[in-house]
Structure 1
Amino acid sequence: MIQHESIPSEDEEDARRKRLQRASTAVLYAVLVAVALWTVRTFIPAVVWAAVIAIALWPAFGWLERRPWLGKHHTVLAFVLTAAIGLLFVLPFVAVATEAGREAGDVLHWFQEVLRTGIPMPDWVNQLPAGARQIAKWWTDNLAMPLRSSPAVQKLHGANLVAMTRHFGGRVAHALIIFGFMLVALFFIFQAGSRLGEQLFAASRRAFGGEGAMVARRMADSVRSTVVGLVVVGLGEGALLGVAYAIAGVPHATLLGMLTAIAAMLPFCAPIVFLGSALWLLAQGSMVAAICVAAFGLVVVFVAEHFVRPVLIGGSARLPFLLVLFGILGGAETFGLLGLFIGPALMTILVVLWTDWVRR
């Protein structure tokens, strides 16, 4: 028997052509999105920072937006909120810079003096229970002599110092530019108002279904709880340790409390400030005050990092402590400061996917 090849019908040809067109359109869209993201890659961190801040403040913004006397003035409301956030970031650094400027003369005089005479070894070094001899020898060889001839200082050649200064200045300039564009992006997000959030969730639902919209909401909740956990815990640690500095007699206790609050917003960074203050007290001969500041700081950080912060961050997202810790630390290592918020959000997705897989 002779078999005849089936000829595709006109409907099948039309369906095949439509599938090919949809595939081509998807590839075109993907290429255009990739090119657009590559074009604006420098400003992506600013947009992501703006999105993180907007997500954290969205409930408060929604409440203000629903007020009759504010809802009619979206632009004014967006400008006021953006300006308030900008001042919230800028004022602490202005205070630190102002205080540093006041102390610059004394610091410069002290630096010139130690270049001429060196730094005398404090008496408490010889009283250390272990390593006193090694520390005393290193101090004598590197710091007790005039620092102009110290081996430790001679390693800082002029060219290296200039290169370090240029690198630091470049990083500061880049951070200021990103901060400026972040405020601009945040203003336009607030100006768009609740319509933007509704459009984003509608797009998630259309692209990924109801589960995609649910994952998007869980991610937003995770980012919001992470911001609250980092900021609230940081401010609490700064306030408590600021009181401890004042009682112990540490100079500029308010400024150090502010620095501690900023450092405490990053996990396990507060000890850099309060242990430095304890070392200063120890160098002044106040051993009891130094031990009290160090012990109190360690207790505050232990309670905050192991109990308060995991509850605030993992509570709404339903994340266990280990995933909260891995999300914060792993995210910071992978993505920098933005990873502090991206990491827990990714861990939330992991928990959602695992729960969905188990239920199936």
Structure 2
Amino acid sequence: MTQTSQPVPDNPGGTRAQHIAMGALALGLLLLGAFTLRNFLSALAWASIFAIALWPLYVRAIARFGTGRHNILLPLAFTLGIALIFVAPVGLVGLQLAKQAQSASDWVHDAQANGITEPAIIQSLPFDHTQIDDWWQTTLGNPGGAQKLVRQTAGGHVAHVSRLVGEALLHRLSDFIFTLVTLFFLFREGVTLTRQLRHGALRAFGLTGERIGQQIIASIHGTVNGLVLVGLAEGLVLGVVYWIAGVPQATVFGMITAIAAMVPFAATAVFAVIALLLLAQGAIGWAIGVVCVGVLVTFVADHFIRPVLIGGTTKLPFLWVLLGILGGIEAWGIIGLFLGPAIMAALILLWREWVGEGPV
């Protein structure tokens, strides 16, 4: 006996119930996908930020050199360039730390055997330093006091701390490798992905959705210029000042300053520590000079250059830029440097359209 199949009704548009069911299914799958990739979301976000920031340069490179038959060399070159930007400074800092490890070990052994020498700056204090001098000689100047200080500082937890640091570094390394792999495919498939995202935004949200996407991209571009590039410039200028002032390992401290300067006002803590180191060496004039130059550089960067670079591209008031940066860091960690201003930019755009100021 032959069983005939029932005809499928022709309903390309679907009913309202089907649309609701499909929306629920899509939302459920999206949540399941986010839960599945929860440990990789940070790497995906970093790769997206790098791809957005470098996309104009990548497009110009495509126009000049082409994509090639398999579209591999150019994405690989950009990905390796990003890797080198991060690996080179970290490697340099690690090399400097390795060079100083033996000196630090020798200093610890000498302090345990002979005590810690009193800094010359104490002798040059403008007030009576007799009590400080007596305390130093009694507490730290003799081998017993120095050994007690070393034991309290180490606390017997060196191995435990080293293990925790090693695990954290391994986790960060795996995230970094996955970020690079994702970045390679974003570059390789970027043209197709951009077209699909624009089409999807138009279909789901209309022109407003596309404008929000453009606002977020513009915010990321402005944030990269205003935070990363300005931070690197601050680190370069202050690194030269450290070198002129005779700060040991001025290159390393310059890199640390550049990283800290990517967060508004954070570089102040670094050059304040540098000034204290110079004070400990008795270089009072250089310490004052470092503080003055550091305050001037950070003031100009945070109050004049960054508002133009970040707020100018998105027409976003700098107050909201600053709140987005600081709130983003608190909520999302370091990646909040870029997510925070992007979220604020999208909200401000929606507000302007809601109150009738028209699309930005």
| Cα deviation code 1:250-302 (max 9, x no counterpart) | 22323322222222223323233322222121111111111111211111112
Relative distance call for 1:221 and 1:140 in structure 2 (3 A) is farther
Output the TM-score relative to the length of structure 2. 0.88
CA distance in 2, matches of 1:223, 1:100: 34
Tell me the SS of whatever aligns to 1:74.
coil
Where do residues 33-182 of structure 1 align in structure 2 (5 Å cutoff)? Answer: 33-70=30-67, 74-125=71-122, 143-145=140-142, 146-150=145-149, 153-154=151-152, 156-158=154-156, 160-182=157-179
Would the aligned equivalents of 2:120 and 2:281 in 1 still touch at CA under 8 Å?
no
Unaligned residue ranges in structure 1 (runs of 5+):
1-13
Question: Following TM superposition, by how much is the alpha carbon of 1:80 offset from its aligned partner in structure 2, in angstroms?
Answer: 0.6
Relative distance call for 1:164 and 1:105 in structure 2 (3 A) is closer
% same residue? 42
Tell me the SS of whatever aligns to 1:119.
coil
Relative distance call for 1:42 and 1:199 in structure 2 (3 A) is same
Relative distance call for 1:199 and 1:71 in structure 2 (3 A) is farther
Relative distance call for 1:157 and 1:80 in structure 2 (3 A) is same
| Cα deviation code 1:311-354 (max 9, x no counterpart) | 11111011111111101111001100110000001110121111
Tell me the SS of whatever aligns to 2:206.
helix
The aligned length equals 345
| Cα deviation code 1:120-179 (max 9, x no counterpart) | 3324346657997997787667644533223x8426432x43333222222111111100
Question: Following TM superposition, by how much is the alpha carbon of 1:82 offset from its aligned partner in structure 2, in angstroms?
Answer: 0.3
Where do residues 166-315 of structure 1 align in structure 2 (5 Å cutoff)? Answer: 166-315=163-312
Aligned twin of 1:9: none
Q: Which 10-residue stretch deviates more, 177-186 or 196-205?
A: 196-205
CA distance in 1, matches of 2:64, 2:117: 64
Output the TM-score relative to the length of structure 1. 0.88
CA distance in 2, matches of 1:305, 1:132: 39
Aligned twin of 1:21: 18
Aligned twin of 2:344: 347
Tell me the SS of whatever aligns to 1:251.
coil
Would the aligned equivalents of 1:268 and 1:305 in 2 still touch at CA under 8 Å?
yes
CA distance in 2, matches of 1:20, 1:86: 49
CA distance in 2, matches of 1:44, 1:324: 24
Relative distance call for 1:156 and 1:104 in structure 2 (3 A) is closer
- Aligned-pair Cα RMSD in Å: 2.6
CA distance in 2, matches of 1:349, 1:138: 58
Relative distance call for 1:129 and 1:220 in structure 2 (3 A) is farther
Unaligned residue ranges in structure 2 (runs of 5+):
1-10
Aligned twin of 1:11: none
Letter in 2 for 1:304: A
CA distance in 1, matches of 2:38, 2:136: 48
Question: Following TM superposition, by how much is the alpha carbon of 1:234 offset from its aligned partner in structure 2, in angstroms?
Answer: 1.2
CA distance in 2, matches of 1:315, 1:255: 32
Would the aligned equivalents of 1:62 and 1:194 in 2 still touch at CA under 8 Å?
no
Letter in 1 for 2:175: I
